[in-house]
Structure 1
Amino acid sequence: MKINRLWLADTLALMSFTIITGMFIEIAIVGMTVQQSIQSRILCQPINILTGRMYGIYRDNIIVQTDKKIPGKGAKIIGDILAYITFQLPLYIGILWVIGMDISSIVKAAFTQTAALLVLGAPYGYWLTKVRAFIIPAPVSVKI
């Protein structure tokens, strides 16, 4: 079986990034218990496996669109932030609902997560780019 390197890179980037940042946000800021956060992270992993590459495609399309509409270097940062919020927040809310959190806690977590996604969107875009570069070697050109 051949593994698609882009799928692998996008999935590993999402899994590693969300475990670290998600647990910190859920425990330190939202006030979830360690057990709730671990349950949330465990539930996230199958979702990350299913959506990691979809997010990569979605993010790449958002980057292309923002690059067309916003001149300069800020387009990629804005695109990363928009993509991260609009893709990740609905998934996160669904996970919290599945693990049985009450509505007021979900709302609190969603607002906190939105703020975090604003801050983490650009760093995740950078992380994704680095993981892709590590897993997918650049083509080597040979001068003859």
Structure 2
Amino acid sequence: MRDFIADTLALVLFFTLTGALNERFIVGMSWEEVALARAIGAPLMVATARPYGLWRGLVMGRAGTGTASRLFWDTLALLSFQVPIYVGIIWAGGAEGAELWRGALGAAVMMLALGRPYGLWLDLVRGWFGLPPGGQKPMSVDTER
């Protein structure tokens, strides 16, 4: 349960802020459309936060100890998991045509830029809950909890 809460808290806080900024200033959605997209996005973030935490753990298991390797794998994990979900969110929020394409491109650029910062944030929040950082023991059972 701590895994679920930590992963959900990290994702909701981080991507509510970054998503709203992208939708308003990059995509060009109105504040009303942004509010609708964030309202749609919140339950989806709750539903996908733990699966993403598991996905990231699995992907980060391939990362080496070097900074470049961790940057690459963290970015790939976020890009491959979150962009399709984000496009669905803004489509449901009213984006269409060029807005949808700008949103997809903006999300991809954001995920490229935010992959490692979000990974570090997620590891920090997981630490607050006494959990190991992602990629340390992916998909394993921690018998000490």
CA distance in 1, matches of 2:111, 2:28: 17
Task: Give the one of 84, 87, 106 matched to 1:90.
Answer: 84
Structure 2 counterpart of 1:15: 12
Q: How many pairs does the alignment contain?
A: 132
Tell me if 1:133 matches 2:127. Answer: yes
Q: 1:1-144 maps to which residues of 2 (within 5 A)?
A: 4-67=1-64, 72-136=66-130
What amino acid is the match of 1:17? F
CA distance in 1, matches of 2:38, 2:12: 9
TM-score for the superposition, normalised by structure 1: 0.85
Displacement of 1:96: 1.8
**Which protein has the bigger helix share?**
1
1:128 and 1:103, CA in 2 relative to 1: closer, same or farther beyond 3 A? same
Structure index of larger Rg: 1
Percent identity, aligned pairs only, is 34
Q: Secondary structure at the match of 2:61?
A: helix
Displacement of 1:19: 0.8
CA distance in 1, matches of 2:40, 2:131: 31
Structure 2 unmatched runs, 5+: 133-145
What amino acid is the match of 1:94? G
